[in-house]
Structure 1
């Protein structure tokens, strides 16, 4: 089958690779759509931290935001899965350690991460094999929304971490895909959402989604008492900014990661009685994200600017925007296209 493979920093190509088969406890999925994210771009550029720690290495097959249809089941897996449209949890724990058995398998020291960690092949291919226990049924939501469930799960867990209540004021730092999904989910739960971005293009797009309170830092009204601040950016100074902008006694949520250390003065946190929450992965948030999409409470599809074939992935990872792309921040890949 055809798959996109990163062979070295800044180099990737479509290769013919072995077609996966369903082993005991697993299924094979025909991939319909895959999202390209910042983590993928970091692997392509060679900056992703796992490359330095040895948790990932080239050649590697990326792709962890995806959806498709089950076409083969392995021994021990119910045939009821056949034909179902699914996605899956990226984080695959060992299943037996203390973290896994306490419901924190996404923090398992020995975990695999689909398309990310310890060589588990990603979904930028015509087929992907995954453990059946990781599957999440998509029901009737379409492929665009299906491939947005994984980033949506990260956003949902961020909103949960903020403990949003109707009427609360939330500031979201970062107007990319995760930030916009955080904003949509928080709005659906009754929050008064403000967005902080850097470019006029991203802020203009946010306003088309109804987020009229979208601004740059220079124009931000700092008198607003933000009950929570979510950092969904990759700027190293944003976590410290979040601690400065949140209302005393409020909550900051850190879901974005910068390529260099982000420093926070803990005196600011302690003296304002601020709670800081970190979010790693969509684990535990996928099913509710599907429900939010299916109900129409959150619509991720406008965030997708274009869909390309496998042959265009390297260009996208290098920062090229497809011709005719819309204003949204997300690029999708259809592995059936060249």
Structure 2
């Protein structure tokens, strides 16, 4: 099969590789759509921390935001999975340690992360092998575009849960990229008054078209009491700013990651009785995201600006926007699209 392989920072190609075979407890999925995110870009540039900590190494196959159709099952897997539209968890725990046994496999010290950690091949390929235990079936109401937005949506939904928003609460989201906009959408669906702060005029302009209560840059942000501040940016200065902006007894959620350490004065947290929450993965939020997409409570399909084939993946990872791309921040890849389509 064809797969997109990163061989070194900035170096990649579409290669012919062995197609996966479903072993015990596994299925093979024909991949229909894959989202590209900031983590993939960091691997492509060589900046991703996992490369420097030994959790990942080149060559590697990226892709952890995906959906597809089950085409084969292992010898012990229910054949009823064949033909089902699915997405799946990125975090694959060992299943035996204390964290896994208490349901926290997404922080298992021995986990694989699909397309990210431990050499587990990702979805930027025509097919993907996955443990059946990590699958989430997609209802008909969740189309292919939404299916590939479940994983980032899970991170966003967990961030909103971490903010403990009630109807009428005022929330500020820092960073109007894909995760920030998804956070804002879920928060709005929860009945919150939602504001966003960013710096790119293009991203701010797009966010203003989505009907939020306020979209600001750092200079124009009004002096309002924010019950929760959710940092979905990659700016090392914003975690500290989030703590400054939140109301006493409010909540700060950190879902964005900077490329360098962020400094937060814990005195500002303690003396204002602020609750700080960290969000690592989508895992506990995947089912809830599928439910909200299926009901129509949240519909982020407009975030996807363009869809290209595997041959266009390198350009997307290098920051290129395809001709005719829409205004949204998200790029998708469909491995079924050939270079000649």
Q: Give TM-score scaled by structure 1 length.
A: 0.99
Corresponding residue of 1:148: 149
Deviation at 1:268, TM superposition (A): 0.7
Deviation at 1:203, TM superposition (A): 1.2
Deviation at 1:200, TM superposition (A): 1.6
SS for the counterpart of 1:230 is strand
Q: Is the 8 Å Cα contact of residues 86 and 136 (structure 2) preserved in structure 1? A: yes
Corresponding residue of 2:193: 192
SS for the counterpart of 1:218 is coil
Q: Is the 8 Å Cα contact of residues 194 and 213 (structure 2) preserved in structure 1? A: no
**Counterpart Cα distance in 2 of 1:76 and 1:274:** 49
Number of aligned residue pairs: give it.
337
Q: Is the 8 Å Cα contact of residues 29 and 129 (structure 1) preserved in structure 2? A: yes
**Counterpart Cα distance in 2 of 1:12 and 1:263:** 35
Q: Is the 8 Å Cα contact of residues 206 and 212 (structure 1) preserved in structure 2? A: no
Corresponding residue of 1:220: 221
1:160 aligns with 2:161: yes
Instruction: After superposition, give the CA deviation of every residue in 1:233-280 in whole Å (9 maximum; x if it has no partner).
Output: 000011001000000000000000000000101111111111100000
Corresponding residue of 2:69: 69
Q: Is the 8 Å Cα contact of residues 6 and 58 (structure 1) preserved in structure 2? A: yes
**Counterpart Cα distance in 2 of 1:12 and 1:330:** 21
Q: Is the 8 Å Cα contact of residues 42 and 48 (structure 2) preserved in structure 1? A: yes
1:56 aligns with 2:65: no
Corresponding residue of 1:43: 43
1:277 aligns with 2:285: no
**Counterpart Cα distance in 1 of 2:337 and 2:246:** 46
1:22 aligns with 2:27: no
SS for the counterpart of 1:219 is coil
**Counterpart Cα distance in 1 of 2:306 and 2:170:** 32
1:309 aligns with 2:315: no
**Counterpart Cα distance in 1 of 2:101 and 2:164:** 25
Q: Is the 8 Å Cα contact of residues 186 and 193 (structure 1) preserved in structure 2? A: yes
Deviation at 1:127, TM superposition (A): 0.2
Q: Give TM-score scaled by structure 2 length.
A: 0.98
SS for the counterpart of 2:103 is coil
**Gapped regions of structure 1 (runs ≥ 5):** none
Corresponding residue of 1:298: 298
**Gapped regions of structure 2 (runs ≥ 5):** none
SS for the counterpart of 2:157 is helix
Deviation at 1:54, TM superposition (A): 0.6
**Counterpart Cα distance in 1 of 2:233 and 2:63:** 21
Instruction: After superposition, give the CA deviation of every residue in 1:197-254 in whole Å (9 maximum; x if it has no partner).
Output: 11121111112111241110100012x1100000000000110010000000000000
Deviation at 1:75, TM superposition (A): 1.8
SS for the counterpart of 1:285 is helix
Corresponding residue of 2:94: 94
Deviation at 1:91, TM superposition (A): 0.1
SS for the counterpart of 1:270 is helix
SS for the counterpart of 1:44 is helix
SS for the counterpart of 1:247 is strand
Q: Is the 8 Å Cα contact of residues 306 and 322 (structure 1) preserved in structure 2? A: yes
**Counterpart Cα distance in 1 of 2:323 and 2:195:** 31
**Counterpart Cα distance in 2 of 1:288 and 1:138:** 12
